[in-house]
Structure 1
Amino acid sequence: MKAKHNKDLQHSDYRIRKLIGVLGLFLPILVYFSGGELLASISHYYYKPLPSLFFIIILSVFGLFLLSYKGYKFDSKTETISDDILTNIGGIAALVVVFVPTCCKESLSASIDIICRDENYPLLGHGNTFKNTIHLVAAGVFMFTMGWMSKFKFTRSSNDVNNTIYKICRNLVWASIALIVVFIVLEDYDIVLTKYYVFIFETTAIIPFGISWLVKGEVLDNVSDMFTKKEK
Protein backbone atom coordinates (compact mmCIF):
# COMPACT_ATOMS: atom_id res chain seq x y z
CA MET A 1 0.00 0.00 0.00
CA LYS A 2 2.83 2.40 0.83
CA ALA A 3 4.49 1.86 -2.57
CA LYS A 4 1.19 2.47 -4.32
CA HIS A 5 0.62 5.61 -2.23
CA ASN A 6 4.07 6.97 -3.16
CA LYS A 7 3.43 6.18 -6.82
CA ASP A 8 0.10 8.04 -6.68
CA LEU A 9 1.85 11.05 -5.14
CA GLN A 10 4.48 10.95 -7.88
CA HIS A 11 1.80 10.89 -10.59
CA SER A 12 0.05 13.77 -8.83
CA ASP A 13 3.28 15.80 -8.92
CA TYR A 14 3.64 15.14 -12.65
CA ARG A 15 0.10 16.35 -13.27
CA ILE A 16 0.75 19.51 -11.23
CA ARG A 17 3.94 20.18 -13.20
CA LYS A 18 2.13 19.80 -16.51
CA LEU A 19 -0.72 22.05 -15.43
CA ILE A 20 1.67 24.76 -14.23
CA GLY A 21 3.55 24.47 -17.52
CA VAL A 22 0.44 24.78 -19.69
CA LEU A 23 -0.84 27.75 -17.72
CA GLY A 24 2.54 29.45 -17.99
CA LEU A 25 2.55 29.04 -21.77
CA PHE A 26 -0.96 30.34 -22.26
CA LEU A 27 -1.17 33.23 -19.75
CA PRO A 28 0.35 35.95 -22.01
CA ILE A 29 -1.56 34.66 -25.04
CA LEU A 30 -4.93 34.52 -23.29
CA VAL A 31 -4.77 37.97 -21.72
CA TYR A 32 -3.60 39.58 -24.95
CA PHE A 33 -6.21 38.06 -27.28
CA SER A 34 -9.07 38.35 -24.79
CA GLY A 35 -8.13 41.98 -24.11
CA GLY A 36 -7.89 42.92 -27.76
CA GLU A 37 -4.95 45.27 -27.23
CA LEU A 38 -1.36 45.28 -26.03
CA LEU A 39 -0.87 46.79 -22.57
CA ALA A 40 2.20 47.97 -20.70
CA SER A 41 2.36 44.74 -18.68
CA ILE A 42 0.53 41.47 -18.16
CA SER A 43 -0.56 42.74 -14.74
CA HIS A 44 -2.45 45.67 -16.30
CA TYR A 45 -4.93 43.23 -17.84
CA TYR A 46 -6.36 43.06 -14.32
CA TYR A 47 -8.29 46.19 -15.29
CA LYS A 48 -10.00 44.68 -18.34
CA PRO A 49 -13.07 42.47 -17.69
CA LEU A 50 -12.34 39.20 -19.54
CA PRO A 51 -8.53 39.21 -19.32
CA SER A 52 -8.79 39.87 -15.58
CA LEU A 53 -10.55 36.52 -15.15
CA PHE A 54 -7.72 34.68 -16.90
CA PHE A 55 -5.12 36.67 -14.96
CA ILE A 56 -6.71 36.05 -11.56
CA ILE A 57 -7.56 32.39 -12.15
CA ILE A 58 -4.22 31.40 -13.66
CA LEU A 59 -2.06 33.26 -11.11
CA SER A 60 -4.19 31.90 -8.26
CA VAL A 61 -3.80 28.37 -9.61
CA PHE A 62 -0.04 28.99 -9.87
CA GLY A 63 0.04 30.07 -6.27
CA LEU A 64 -2.10 27.27 -4.87
CA PHE A 65 -0.39 24.50 -6.82
CA LEU A 66 3.07 25.79 -5.96
CA LEU A 67 2.09 25.84 -2.29
CA SER A 68 0.87 22.24 -2.54
CA TYR A 69 3.91 21.05 -4.53
CA LYS A 70 6.49 19.23 -2.38
CA GLY A 71 9.10 18.22 -4.95
CA TYR A 72 12.21 16.25 -4.04
CA LYS A 73 13.25 15.39 -0.51
CA PHE A 74 15.64 17.99 0.94
CA ASP A 75 19.34 17.03 0.91
CA SER A 76 21.11 19.12 3.55
CA LYS A 77 24.54 18.14 2.15
CA THR A 78 24.03 19.57 -1.32
CA GLU A 79 21.19 22.09 -0.94
CA THR A 80 20.65 25.34 0.92
CA ILE A 81 16.88 25.46 0.42
CA SER A 82 14.31 22.73 -0.18
CA ASP A 83 11.95 22.43 -3.14
CA ASP A 84 9.05 22.82 -0.73
CA ILE A 85 10.27 26.13 0.73
CA LEU A 86 11.22 27.50 -2.68
CA THR A 87 7.85 26.71 -4.24
CA ASN A 88 6.09 28.07 -1.15
CA ILE A 89 7.91 31.38 -1.65
CA GLY A 90 6.95 31.37 -5.33
CA GLY A 91 3.37 30.41 -4.52
CA ILE A 92 2.92 33.15 -1.93
CA ALA A 93 4.48 35.68 -4.32
CA ALA A 94 2.05 34.63 -7.09
CA LEU A 95 -0.92 35.12 -4.75
CA VAL A 96 0.38 38.54 -3.66
CA VAL A 97 0.55 39.52 -7.35
CA VAL A 98 -3.17 38.69 -7.58
CA PHE A 99 -4.39 40.20 -4.31
CA VAL A 100 -2.21 43.29 -4.54
CA PRO A 101 -2.60 44.15 -8.24
CA THR A 102 -0.51 46.64 -10.15
CA CYS A 103 -1.39 50.33 -10.10
CA CYS A 104 -4.10 51.35 -12.55
CA LYS A 105 -1.90 54.05 -14.09
CA GLU A 106 0.38 53.88 -17.15
CA SER A 107 -1.37 50.91 -18.75
CA LEU A 108 -1.15 52.43 -22.29
CA SER A 109 -4.89 51.82 -22.68
CA ALA A 110 -7.43 54.63 -23.17
CA SER A 111 -10.23 52.60 -21.56
CA ILE A 112 -8.16 51.84 -18.46
CA ASP A 113 -7.10 55.50 -18.25
CA ILE A 114 -10.78 56.40 -17.86
CA ILE A 115 -11.10 53.91 -14.99
CA CYS A 116 -8.06 55.48 -13.32
CA ARG A 117 -9.33 59.02 -13.81
CA ASP A 118 -12.75 58.21 -12.33
CA GLU A 119 -11.20 55.95 -9.65
CA ASN A 120 -13.77 53.32 -10.64
CA TYR A 121 -11.42 50.46 -9.81
CA PRO A 122 -12.52 46.81 -10.21
CA LEU A 123 -12.16 44.40 -7.29
CA LEU A 124 -8.86 45.21 -5.52
CA GLY A 125 -7.68 47.71 -8.12
CA HIS A 126 -6.03 50.91 -6.90
CA GLY A 127 -3.88 53.91 -7.75
CA ASN A 128 -1.60 53.54 -4.73
CA THR A 129 2.17 53.76 -5.28
CA PHE A 130 3.09 51.72 -2.18
CA LYS A 131 0.80 48.84 -3.17
CA ASN A 132 2.27 48.98 -6.65
CA THR A 133 5.75 48.52 -5.17
CA ILE A 134 4.55 45.46 -3.25
CA HIS A 135 3.11 44.07 -6.49
CA LEU A 136 6.34 44.64 -8.43
CA VAL A 137 8.49 43.03 -5.72
CA ALA A 138 6.16 40.02 -5.53
CA ALA A 139 6.22 39.61 -9.34
CA GLY A 140 10.02 39.78 -9.30
CA VAL A 141 10.27 37.22 -6.49
CA PHE A 142 7.86 34.90 -8.31
CA MET A 143 9.86 34.97 -11.56
CA PHE A 144 13.23 34.75 -9.80
CA THR A 145 12.26 31.70 -7.73
CA MET A 146 10.92 29.95 -10.82
CA GLY A 147 14.21 30.61 -12.60
CA TRP A 148 16.05 29.26 -9.54
CA MET A 149 13.86 26.15 -9.62
CA SER A 150 14.70 25.50 -13.27
CA LYS A 151 18.46 25.86 -12.79
CA PHE A 152 19.23 24.42 -9.37
CA LYS A 153 16.34 22.04 -8.66
CA PHE A 154 15.18 20.56 -11.94
CA THR A 155 18.76 19.93 -13.14
CA ARG A 156 19.20 17.11 -10.64
CA SER A 157 17.74 14.92 -13.37
CA SER A 158 20.00 12.33 -15.02
CA ASN A 159 18.65 13.37 -18.43
CA ASP A 160 21.26 15.64 -20.04
CA VAL A 161 18.85 16.91 -22.72
CA ASN A 162 16.31 17.95 -20.11
CA ASN A 163 19.01 19.54 -17.96
CA THR A 164 20.11 21.64 -20.92
CA ILE A 165 16.52 22.80 -21.46
CA TYR A 166 16.20 23.72 -17.77
CA LYS A 167 19.40 25.80 -17.89
CA ILE A 168 18.28 27.61 -21.05
CA CYS A 169 14.90 28.34 -19.45
CA ARG A 170 16.61 29.64 -16.31
CA ASN A 171 18.83 31.93 -18.38
CA LEU A 172 15.84 33.28 -20.31
CA VAL A 173 13.84 33.93 -17.12
CA TRP A 174 16.68 35.74 -15.35
CA ALA A 175 17.74 37.61 -18.51
CA SER A 176 14.15 38.85 -18.88
CA ILE A 177 14.12 40.14 -15.30
CA ALA A 178 17.47 41.86 -15.86
CA LEU A 179 16.26 43.47 -19.10
CA ILE A 180 13.20 44.91 -17.34
CA VAL A 181 15.53 46.56 -14.83
CA VAL A 182 17.78 47.84 -17.65
CA PHE A 183 14.82 49.35 -19.53
CA ILE A 184 13.57 51.03 -16.33
CA VAL A 185 17.00 52.62 -15.88
CA LEU A 186 17.03 53.71 -19.53
CA GLU A 187 13.66 55.39 -19.00
CA ASP A 188 15.21 57.50 -16.26
CA TYR A 189 17.56 58.84 -18.94
CA ASP A 190 14.65 59.45 -21.35
CA ILE A 191 15.67 56.51 -23.54
CA VAL A 192 12.50 54.62 -24.49
CA LEU A 193 13.03 51.77 -26.98
CA THR A 194 9.48 50.49 -26.55
CA LYS A 195 6.67 51.29 -24.11
CA TYR A 196 5.68 47.63 -23.98
CA TYR A 197 8.96 46.26 -22.66
CA VAL A 198 7.48 44.96 -19.38
CA PHE A 199 4.86 42.91 -21.22
CA ILE A 200 7.48 41.64 -23.68
CA PHE A 201 9.98 40.57 -21.04
CA GLU A 202 7.32 39.16 -18.72
CA THR A 203 6.27 36.99 -21.65
CA THR A 204 9.84 35.90 -22.38
CA ALA A 205 10.13 34.94 -18.70
CA ILE A 206 6.79 33.17 -18.25
CA ILE A 207 6.95 31.04 -21.42
CA PRO A 208 10.36 29.46 -20.58
CA PHE A 209 9.06 28.99 -17.04
CA GLY A 210 6.10 27.07 -18.49
CA ILE A 211 8.33 25.02 -20.77
CA SER A 212 10.60 23.96 -17.91
CA TRP A 213 7.62 22.74 -15.87
CA LEU A 214 6.22 20.84 -18.85
CA VAL A 215 9.56 19.13 -19.37
CA LYS A 216 9.72 18.32 -15.64
CA GLY A 217 6.24 16.87 -15.98
CA GLU A 218 7.74 14.43 -18.52
CA VAL A 219 5.78 15.81 -21.47
CA LEU A 220 8.71 15.05 -23.79
CA ASP A 221 8.70 11.44 -22.61
CA ASN A 222 4.94 11.25 -23.08
CA VAL A 223 5.22 12.54 -26.66
CA SER A 224 8.09 10.13 -27.38
CA ASP A 225 6.07 7.19 -26.00
CA MET A 226 3.09 8.23 -28.11
CA PHE A 227 5.11 8.14 -31.34
CA THR A 228 6.80 4.89 -30.31
CA LYS A 229 3.41 3.23 -29.84
CA LYS A 230 2.26 4.47 -33.25
CA GLU A 231 5.34 2.96 -34.93
CA LYS A 232 4.60 -0.38 -33.30
Structure 2
Amino acid sequence: MKPQNEDLKIADYRIRKLIGFLGLFLPFLLYFTEGELLASISHYYYKPLPSLIFIIILSAFGLFLLSYKGYTFDTNSEKISDDVLTNIGGIAALVVVFIPTCCKGSLSASVDIICRDENFPLLGHNNDFKNTIHLVAAGIFMFTMGWMSKYKFTRSTNDINNKIYKICGNLVWLSITLIIVLIIFEKLNIHIGFTDYYVFVFETTAIIPFGISWLVKGDVLNNVSNMFKKEN
Protein backbone atom coordinates (compact mmCIF):
# COMPACT_ATOMS: atom_id res chain seq x y z
CA MET A 1 0.00 0.00 0.00
CA LYS A 2 1.30 3.48 -0.94
CA PRO A 3 1.66 6.00 1.87
CA GLN A 4 -0.99 8.71 2.03
CA ASN A 5 1.46 11.52 1.22
CA GLU A 6 2.46 9.62 -1.96
CA ASP A 7 -1.20 9.51 -3.03
CA LEU A 8 -1.50 13.25 -2.37
CA LYS A 9 1.62 13.90 -4.43
CA ILE A 10 0.20 11.92 -7.37
CA ALA A 11 -3.09 13.82 -7.06
CA ASP A 12 -1.20 17.13 -7.14
CA TYR A 13 0.60 16.11 -10.34
CA ARG A 14 -2.71 15.17 -11.94
CA ILE A 15 -4.25 18.50 -11.01
CA ARG A 16 -1.24 20.34 -12.45
CA LYS A 17 -1.51 18.42 -15.73
CA LEU A 18 -5.25 19.05 -15.98
CA ILE A 19 -4.83 22.78 -15.37
CA GLY A 20 -2.02 22.86 -17.91
CA PHE A 21 -3.89 21.04 -20.68
CA LEU A 22 -7.05 23.06 -20.14
CA GLY A 23 -5.10 26.31 -20.30
CA LEU A 24 -3.15 25.26 -23.37
CA PHE A 25 -6.21 24.30 -25.42
CA LEU A 26 -8.85 26.80 -24.21
CA PRO A 27 -8.40 29.59 -26.83
CA PHE A 28 -8.12 27.08 -29.69
CA LEU A 29 -11.20 25.12 -28.60
CA LEU A 30 -13.25 28.31 -28.40
CA TYR A 31 -12.17 29.52 -31.82
CA PHE A 32 -12.45 26.23 -33.74
CA THR A 33 -15.81 25.20 -32.26
CA GLU A 34 -17.31 28.50 -33.44
CA GLY A 35 -15.11 29.29 -36.45
CA GLU A 36 -15.28 32.98 -35.61
CA LEU A 37 -12.72 35.20 -33.91
CA LEU A 38 -14.18 37.42 -31.18
CA ALA A 39 -12.76 40.45 -29.41
CA SER A 40 -11.85 38.43 -26.31
CA ILE A 41 -11.93 34.92 -24.92
CA SER A 42 -14.66 36.01 -22.49
CA HIS A 43 -17.01 37.04 -25.33
CA TYR A 44 -17.38 33.37 -26.31
CA TYR A 45 -19.75 33.21 -23.33
CA TYR A 46 -22.38 34.51 -25.77
CA LYS A 47 -21.93 31.68 -28.30
CA PRO A 48 -23.86 28.41 -27.69
CA LEU A 49 -21.19 25.67 -27.82
CA PRO A 50 -18.15 27.83 -26.93
CA SER A 51 -20.05 29.11 -23.87
CA LEU A 52 -20.25 25.55 -22.50
CA ILE A 53 -16.52 25.06 -23.09
CA PHE A 54 -15.75 28.44 -21.50
CA ILE A 55 -17.91 27.76 -18.43
CA ILE A 56 -16.67 24.19 -17.92
CA ILE A 57 -12.96 25.00 -18.32
CA LEU A 58 -12.99 28.21 -16.25
CA SER A 59 -15.03 26.46 -13.54
CA ALA A 60 -12.52 23.60 -13.62
CA PHE A 61 -9.69 26.11 -13.24
CA GLY A 62 -11.42 27.58 -10.23
CA LEU A 63 -12.17 24.27 -8.53
CA PHE A 64 -8.78 22.74 -9.27
CA LEU A 65 -6.98 25.81 -7.96
CA LEU A 66 -9.09 25.85 -4.81
CA SER A 67 -8.24 22.20 -4.19
CA TYR A 68 -4.52 22.65 -4.94
CA LYS A 69 -2.34 22.96 -1.83
CA GLY A 70 1.16 23.15 -3.30
CA TYR A 71 4.29 23.35 -1.18
CA THR A 72 4.35 23.79 2.58
CA PHE A 73 4.52 27.48 3.48
CA ASP A 74 8.00 28.66 4.46
CA THR A 75 7.53 31.62 6.82
CA ASN A 76 11.20 32.60 6.51
CA SER A 77 11.34 33.03 2.73
CA GLU A 78 7.74 33.54 1.60
CA LYS A 79 5.14 36.23 2.13
CA ILE A 80 2.19 34.22 0.79
CA SER A 81 1.60 30.48 0.60
CA ASP A 82 0.84 28.45 -2.51
CA ASP A 83 -2.54 27.59 -1.00
CA VAL A 84 -3.57 31.22 -0.45
CA LEU A 85 -2.33 32.28 -3.89
CA THR A 86 -4.16 29.50 -5.74
CA ASN A 87 -7.29 30.15 -3.65
CA ILE A 88 -7.23 33.78 -4.81
CA GLY A 89 -6.74 32.65 -8.41
CA GLY A 90 -9.45 30.01 -8.10
CA ILE A 91 -12.02 32.43 -6.67
CA ALA A 92 -11.14 34.97 -9.39
CA ALA A 93 -11.66 32.31 -12.09
CA LEU A 94 -15.11 31.48 -10.69
CA VAL A 95 -16.02 35.19 -10.59
CA VAL A 96 -15.08 35.38 -14.29
CA VAL A 97 -17.67 32.65 -14.93
CA PHE A 98 -20.46 33.93 -12.69
CA ILE A 99 -20.01 37.56 -13.71
CA PRO A 100 -19.29 37.28 -17.45
CA THR A 101 -18.04 40.06 -19.65
CA CYS A 102 -20.44 42.62 -21.10
CA CYS A 103 -21.91 41.51 -24.44
CA LYS A 104 -21.01 44.72 -26.28
CA GLY A 105 -17.79 45.13 -28.21
CA SER A 106 -17.56 41.47 -29.21
CA LEU A 107 -16.91 42.22 -32.92
CA SER A 108 -19.55 39.60 -33.76
CA ALA A 109 -22.78 40.47 -35.58
CA SER A 110 -24.71 37.66 -33.87
CA VAL A 111 -23.61 38.76 -30.39
CA ASP A 112 -24.48 42.37 -31.32
CA ILE A 113 -28.05 41.20 -32.01
CA ILE A 114 -28.19 39.50 -28.58
CA CYS A 115 -26.94 42.74 -27.05
CA ARG A 116 -29.42 44.91 -28.92
CA ASP A 117 -32.41 42.71 -28.11
CA GLU A 118 -31.22 42.14 -24.52
CA ASN A 119 -31.76 38.43 -25.04
CA PHE A 120 -28.86 37.51 -22.78
CA PRO A 121 -27.96 33.85 -22.13
CA LEU A 122 -27.64 32.67 -18.52
CA LEU A 123 -25.84 35.41 -16.57
CA GLY A 124 -25.10 37.57 -19.63
CA HIS A 125 -25.57 41.32 -19.37
CA ASN A 126 -24.82 44.76 -20.77
CA ASN A 127 -23.81 46.37 -17.49
CA ASP A 128 -20.60 48.40 -17.19
CA PHE A 129 -20.22 47.83 -13.44
CA LYS A 130 -20.45 44.04 -13.79
CA ASN A 131 -18.05 44.25 -16.71
CA THR A 132 -15.52 46.04 -14.51
CA ILE A 133 -15.80 43.29 -11.87
CA HIS A 134 -15.26 40.70 -14.62
CA LEU A 135 -12.17 42.48 -15.96
CA VAL A 136 -10.65 42.89 -12.49
CA ALA A 137 -11.29 39.21 -11.67
CA ALA A 138 -9.76 38.09 -14.99
CA GLY A 139 -6.73 40.27 -14.30
CA ILE A 140 -6.31 38.87 -10.78
CA PHE A 141 -6.62 35.31 -12.08
CA MET A 142 -3.92 35.78 -14.71
CA PHE A 143 -1.67 37.83 -12.40
CA THR A 144 -1.71 35.14 -9.70
CA MET A 145 -0.94 32.48 -12.28
CA GLY A 146 2.02 34.51 -13.51
CA TRP A 147 3.16 34.84 -9.89
CA MET A 148 2.86 31.09 -9.34
CA SER A 149 4.97 30.38 -12.40
CA LYS A 150 7.65 33.01 -11.81
CA TYR A 151 8.10 32.80 -8.04
CA LYS A 152 6.46 29.65 -6.69
CA PHE A 153 7.31 27.00 -9.28
CA THR A 154 10.94 28.15 -9.44
CA ARG A 155 11.69 26.52 -6.08
CA SER A 156 12.39 23.44 -8.17
CA THR A 157 15.94 22.09 -8.22
CA ASN A 158 15.71 21.63 -12.00
CA ASP A 159 17.42 24.64 -13.62
CA ILE A 160 15.91 24.00 -17.05
CA ASN A 161 12.41 23.85 -15.62
CA ASN A 162 13.06 26.99 -13.58
CA LYS A 163 14.02 28.87 -16.75
CA ILE A 164 10.78 27.73 -18.37
CA TYR A 165 8.75 28.86 -15.35
CA LYS A 166 10.37 32.31 -15.36
CA ILE A 167 9.84 32.77 -19.09
CA CYS A 168 6.21 31.68 -18.79
CA GLY A 169 5.58 33.97 -15.81
CA ASN A 170 7.12 36.92 -17.65
CA LEU A 171 5.03 36.22 -20.76
CA VAL A 172 1.85 36.11 -18.68
CA TRP A 173 2.63 39.46 -17.04
CA LEU A 174 3.78 41.04 -20.32
CA SER A 175 0.53 40.00 -21.99
CA ILE A 176 -1.57 41.45 -19.15
CA THR A 177 0.43 44.69 -19.31
CA LEU A 178 -0.07 45.02 -23.07
CA ILE A 179 -3.83 44.50 -22.71
CA ILE A 180 -4.02 47.22 -20.04
CA VAL A 181 -1.90 49.65 -22.08
CA LEU A 182 -3.93 49.12 -25.25
CA ILE A 183 -7.23 49.48 -23.35
CA ILE A 184 -5.96 52.81 -21.97
CA PHE A 185 -4.94 53.90 -25.49
CA GLU A 186 -8.40 52.93 -26.73
CA LYS A 187 -10.11 54.96 -24.00
CA LEU A 188 -7.94 57.96 -24.90
CA ASN A 189 -8.72 57.52 -28.61
CA ILE A 190 -5.05 56.87 -29.36
CA HIS A 191 -4.87 54.61 -32.40
CA ILE A 192 -1.65 52.71 -33.04
CA GLY A 193 -2.93 50.52 -35.88
CA PHE A 194 -3.03 47.30 -33.86
CA THR A 195 -5.64 44.59 -34.47
CA ASP A 196 -9.16 44.99 -33.07
CA TYR A 197 -8.70 41.51 -31.60
CA TYR A 198 -5.77 42.49 -29.38
CA VAL A 199 -7.49 41.35 -26.16
CA PHE A 200 -8.04 37.85 -27.57
CA VAL A 201 -4.47 37.77 -28.93
CA PHE A 202 -2.83 38.76 -25.65
CA GLU A 203 -5.19 36.66 -23.54
CA THR A 204 -4.01 33.74 -25.66
CA THR A 205 -0.33 34.68 -25.24
CA ALA A 206 -0.98 34.78 -21.48
CA ILE A 207 -2.94 31.56 -21.13
CA ILE A 208 -0.65 29.38 -23.29
CA PRO A 209 2.51 29.97 -21.16
CA PHE A 210 0.27 29.62 -18.08
CA GLY A 211 -0.72 26.18 -19.38
CA ILE A 212 2.85 25.26 -20.28
CA SER A 213 4.16 26.13 -16.82
CA TRP A 214 1.54 23.94 -15.13
CA LEU A 215 2.28 21.06 -17.52
CA VAL A 216 5.99 21.29 -16.75
CA LYS A 217 5.18 21.43 -13.04
CA GLY A 218 3.03 18.34 -13.56
CA ASP A 219 6.18 16.53 -14.74
CA VAL A 220 4.96 16.16 -18.32
CA LEU A 221 8.51 16.53 -19.70
CA ASN A 222 9.69 13.53 -17.69
CA ASN A 223 6.57 11.57 -18.64
CA VAL A 224 7.24 12.16 -22.34
CA SER A 225 10.94 11.35 -21.92
CA ASN A 226 10.14 8.09 -20.13
CA MET A 227 7.62 7.16 -22.81
CA PHE A 228 10.24 7.50 -25.56
CA LYS A 229 12.74 5.52 -23.51
CA LYS A 230 10.26 2.64 -23.22
CA GLU A 231 9.62 2.69 -26.96
CA ASN A 232 13.35 2.54 -27.69
* Shorter-chain TM-score tier: over 0.9
Deviation at 1:229, TM superposition (A): 1.8
- The within-5 A match list for 1:17-32 is 17-32=16-31
Aligned to 1:212: 213
Report what 2:179 is aligned to. 180
1:73-101 CA-partner distances (Å, limit 9, x unpaired) = 00000000000000000000000000000
Q: In structure 1, the residue corresponding to 2:70 is in which secondary structure?
A: coil
Q: Who is 1:94 aligned against?
A: 93
- Match in the other structure for 2:169: 170
Match of 1:126, as an amino acid?
H
Q: Residue type matched to 2:155 in 1?
A: R
**Which whole-Å CA distance do the structure 1 matches of 2:54 and 2:34 have between them?**
11
Tell me the equivalent position of 2:196.
195
Amino acid aligned to 2:57: I
- Report deviation, 1:186: 2.1
Displacement of 1:190 in angstroms is: 3.2
Any runs of at least 4 consecutive aligned residues in structure 1 with deviations exceeding 6 A, and if so which? none
TM-score by length of 2: 0.97
Q: Percent sequence identity over matched residues?
A: 77
Letter in 1 for 2:189: Y
Residue 66 (structure 1) aligned with residue 61 (structure 2): no
SS at match of 2:3: helix
Equivalent residue number for residue 16 of structure 1: 15
Which residue matches 1:143?
142
Amino acid at match of 2:82: D
Distance 1:206 1:117 in 2: 31
Distance in 2 (alpha carbons) for counterparts of 1:109 and 1:80: 44
| SS of corresponding position for 1:78 | coil
State the alpha-carbon separation in 1 of the partners of residues 184 and 63 from structure 2: 34
Instruction: Tell me how far apart the structure 1 counterparts of residues 46 and 33 of structure 2 sit (CA, whole Å).
Output: 12
**Equivalent residue letter for 2:113:** I
- Pair 1:84 & 2:63 matched: no
Give unmatched runs, 5+ long, in structure 2: none
Tell which deviates more after alignment, 183-192 or 145-154: 183-192
| Counterpart-to-counterpart distance in 1, 2:230 and 2:36 | 43
User: How far apart are 1:157 and its partner, in Å?
Assistant: 0.2
Structure 1 position 185, deviation (Å): 2.2
Count of aligned residue pairs for this structure pair: 230
Q: Give the CA deviation at 1:212.
A: 0.2
CA-based RMSD of the aligned residues comes to: 0.9
Instruction: Give how far 1:230 is off.
Output: 2.0
